[in-house]
Amino acid sequence: MEPILEVRNLACGYQTQPVFTHVNLTLYPGQLSGLVGPSGSGKSTLIKAILGLIQPWAGEVWFRGRRLKPGVAPPKVGYVPQVETVDWTFPVTAEEVVMMGRYKQQKIWPWPSKRDRLAARELLDRVGVAHIASQPIGDLSGGQQQRVFLARALVGEPEIVLLDEPTSSSDLRVQHELLHLLADLNQQGLTILLSTHDLNSVATHLPWVVCFNHGLICQGEPINVFTSETLERTFGAEMVVFHQNDRILIASSGTSLRHKMQRNLPPILLQDRSTVYFEDHQ
Global confidence as pTM: 0.85
Architecture of domain 1-76+159-282: 3-Layer(aba) Sandwich (3.40)
Which pLDDT belongs to residue 178? 87
Which pLDDT belongs to residue 204? 86
Question: What does the domain layout of the chain look like in residue ranges?
Answer: 1-76+159-282, 86-157
CA distances from 67 to 5, 59, 193 (A): 10, 10, 20
pLDDT tens column, 140-195: 988 888 889 999 999 888 999 999 988 776 677 778 888 889 999 999 999 999 99
- β pairing state of 5-14 and 17-27: antiparallel
Residue ranges of the chain with per-residue pLDDT less than 70: 103-111, 169-170, 254-262, 269-270, 273, 275, 278, 280-282
Which pLDDT belongs to residue 50? 95
Which pLDDT belongs to residue 101? 84
The closest of 154, 216, 161, 152 to 50, measured between CA atoms, is 161
Which pLDDT belongs to residue 56? 94
Which pLDDT belongs to residue 104? 58
- β pairing state of 77-80 and 160-164: parallel
Tell me how far the alpha carbon of residue 122 is from its chain's centroid.
23
pLDDT tens column, 8-34: 999 999 989 999 999 999 999 999 999
Which pLDDT belongs to residue 270? 67
Which pLDDT belongs to residue 48? 95
CA angle 23, 73, 83 (to 5 degrees): 85
